[in-house]
Amino acid sequence: MPKTYEAWIDEEEGVVTLGDLENVQWQRSKGLLKATRMLHRIEADTPEEAHAVHNIKMGWEPYVPIGKPAPCPRGCGGFYYPEGSGECPKCGRIN
């Protein structure tokens, strides 16, 4: 199931942050995200997909996920990155 991710930039320091809406809202509520401007929103099934699209939008090198993809252990036919997010695009969180 797709989630919404947001990319924010702290224009003073040039730091870019990408996170799902829940994480971004939590960081902002704790004063941890000092970003001043939202760059873009992305709808994606996994954090790896969100990072890949984000890198394209930023004009950066292609995103390389952590570890190797593996078949979903729940037998849905999807692939996930157990060393990365641990999220299957069909089943959600596996780990």
Query: What residue ranges do the domains of the chain occupy?
Result: 3-58, 65-95
pLDDT of residue 35: 67
pLDDT of residue 9: 94
- For the chain of 95 residues, list the mean pLDDT of each consecutive stretch of 10: 94 92 92 87 98 98 97 96 96 90
pLDDT of residue 4: 98
CB atoms within 10 A of CB 71: 12
Helix (H) or strand (E) holding 29: helix 21-29
Please give the model's pTM, rounded to 2 decimal places.
Answer: 0.90
Distance of CA 43 to the CA centre of its chain: 10
pLDDT of residue 19: 96
